[in-house]
Amino acid sequence: MRIAVPNKGRLHDPTMRLLERAGLHVRDGADRKLYADTVDPEVTVLFARAADIPEYVADGAAACGITGLDQVRESEVDLADLIDLEFGRCRLVLAAPEEGSVKTVDDLAGGTVATEFPNVTRQFLADRGVEADVAEVSGATELTPHVDIADAIVDITSTGTTLRMNRLEVVEEVLESSVHLFAHPDRADDPKVRQVETALGSVVAADGKRYLMMNVPEGRLEAVEDVIPGMGGPTVMDVAGSDALAVHVVVDEREVFETITRLKEAGATDILVTEIERLVE
C-alpha cells in the first residue's frame, strides 16, 4: 500500500515526524526520491507535491495521502476524509487593498480576483451569488491588486503578516484548512488503510495529554477521584506490601499544574508525570 506525502515545503517535515511517531519509520527518505520503504513491508511512501497528492490518490497511484484540505478542495476530486491531523493550519481568505473600494464580497461584482486557487474561488463567489472574473496566478498573488491585474485576491494566510506588509486587509474567510489523511473511496475500509488511520490518530490523540501516576491511601481514593479531570475514570491497582493504591490517569497538559496541587491536598503522594507518545482511543 502506498501513502502519498508532501515531498517538500512547510508540510514535509511535520508529516515525516508524524509518521515516525506513529511507528512508520521511513527508510532512506532522501530528497528527490520518489518512493521510500517503511518498517512495515506492506507500506510504501510516495513523495509528491502537496497539490498533486489528491490526484495521485484519486487515480489510484496511492491508497491514501496526507495533504491540506485546501488542496483537496481545489482539486475537486472525491476522496474519503479520514482524519484531521491537526497541523499545517491556515486560512484561505479574500483580501483587498486597505485603501481600495472592495470592503465586502458584493463589491467584487464585475471585478477580478487573482488566486492560486481558482476552483475554490469560483465556488466561493458562486455560493455568494457574485459574478467576477477569476485570474489564475502561480505566485506573488499579493502584488496583483497593486499592478492593476486584480481588484482582490484569494490566498493562504497563517498570521496575516504578509497581507499587512502588502497593504491588504481580509474581507472574508473563504476556507479554514489543516492537513488531513485522505483515502480513495474504494480503499477507505481496507484493513491496512484503517491501521494507518489508527496509528496516525493515536499520535494526534496523545498531543496535549499527560499520564499521571500516583500512590493514594485507600481512605483518600474518593477525594482523589473527585480531583482528577481525566478521560473517564482512573485506573486503580493495589500496591504490593502496602495499604496504598496506585492510581493512573490521562489528563490534559494544561490542567497538570493545578491538578497536581489539588492531588497533593487530597492525599496523593509520589506523583509522576510523563509524556504520551500515542493514545489509541
Q: Please, how many CA atoms are within 13 Å of residue 178, restricted to the half-sphere of its CB? A: 12
Q: Which CATH architecture does the domain made up of 2-88+178-205 adopt?
A: 3-Layer(aba) Sandwich (3.40)
In this prediction, residue 137 carries a pLDDT of 94
Query: Is pLDDT above 70 for 230?
Result: no
Per-domain residue ranges of the chain: 2-88+178-205, 90-177, 208-275
**How sure is the predictor about 32, in pLDDT bands with cuts at 50, 70 and 90?**
low
Are domains 2-88+178-205 and 208-275 of this chain identical in fold?
Answer: no
Q: How does pLDDT run across 106-153, given as a tens digit for each residue?
A: 999 999 999 999 999 999 999 999 999 999 998 889 999 999 999 999
Helices (H), 39-116: 53-58, 69-75
**What is the dotted CATH code of the domain comprising 90-177?**
3.40.190.10
- Cβ atoms within 10 A of the Cβ of 83, count? 17
In this prediction, residue 159 carries a pLDDT of 81
Decide if 55 contacts 114 (C-beta within 8 A). Answer: no
Average pLDDT, integer, range 243-261: 91
Q: Which helix (H) or strand (E) holds 79?
A: none
- Domain 208-275 has what CATH class? alpha beta
Decide if 154 contacts 124 (C-beta within 8 A). Answer: yes
Q: How does pLDDT run across 2-21, given as a tens digit for each residue?
A: 999 999 889 999 999 999 99
Which DSSP state fits 224?
H
d(CA 144, CA 162): 14
Calculate ∠ Cα 110-111-116, nearest 5°.
Answer: 130
**Which has more confidence, 159 or 208?**
208
> Is the pTM for the entire model greater than 0.95?
no
Mean pLDDT, the chain, integer? 92
For 33, phi then psi, to 5°, come to -85, 145
